Amino acid sequence: MSPEALAALHAACFTVPRPWSAAEFAGLLARPDAFLLPAPAGFLLGRALAGEAELLTLAVDPGARRAGTGSRLVAQFLAEAAGRGAEAAFLEVAEDNLAAIALYATAGFAQAGRRRGYYRLPGGGATDALVMTRAIDAQP
């Protein structure tokens, strides 16, 4: 997927946090610690460094949700992170994104913290980010 395609899908999925631009995706993809996991109706962007992996963003086309794409991408993320030597994973998610929180909880993530007012809302104001973590099992 090109940075432009990633940005277009991200914009279709998010207002909070704000959608990322093609330039932001290109910059992240140029990093040696970053990795992209594409799917027919979505993608996951992560990074792994120094024993930790971060799930940067996960986007699934709104018309293709609830078909297992997100679950498959999270499982692929954990496998890729383990292959890159990560022992733990973390992510941030808007506290009102209940579907994403449920997806991550099902994948073994648990809330480890809260960042108050982390995400800016389009009309003003802010919402908290939940920090979620989980251990990563070693891959054979």
For residue 69, tell me if it sits in a domain.
Answer: yes
Q: What letter represents residue 69's amino acid?
A: T
Q: What domain range includes position 112?
A: 3-135
Spatial contact of 13 and 57, defined as CB atoms under 8 Å apart: no
d(CA 4, CA 1): 8
d(CA 43, CA 65): 12
pLDDT per residue over 47-59, tens digit each? 999 999 999 999 9
For residue 34, tell me if it sits in a domain.
Answer: yes
For residue 106, tell me if it sits in a domain.
Answer: yes
Question: Residue 138 above 60 pLDDT?
Answer: no
Whole-prediction pTM = 0.90
Residue of 122 and 36 predicted with greater confidence: 36
- Number of domains comprising the chain: 1
- Token pair 């929180």: residue: 101
Q: What is the CATH number of the domain that holds 89?
A: 3.40.630.30
For residue 140, tell me if it sits in a domain.
Answer: no
Composition of the chain by helix, strand, coil, percent to 5? 35, 35, 30
d(CA 100, CA 2): 24
d(CA 93, CA 29): 21
For residue 71, tell me if it sits in a domain.
Answer: yes
- The token pair that represents 19 in the structure block: 């959608």
d(CA 14, CA 62): 10
pLDDT per residue over 38-97, tens digit each? 999 999 999 999 999 999 999 999 887 888 899 999 999 999 999 999 999 999 999 999
Distance separating the N- and C-terminal Cα atoms of the chain: 29
d(CA 81, CA 132): 16
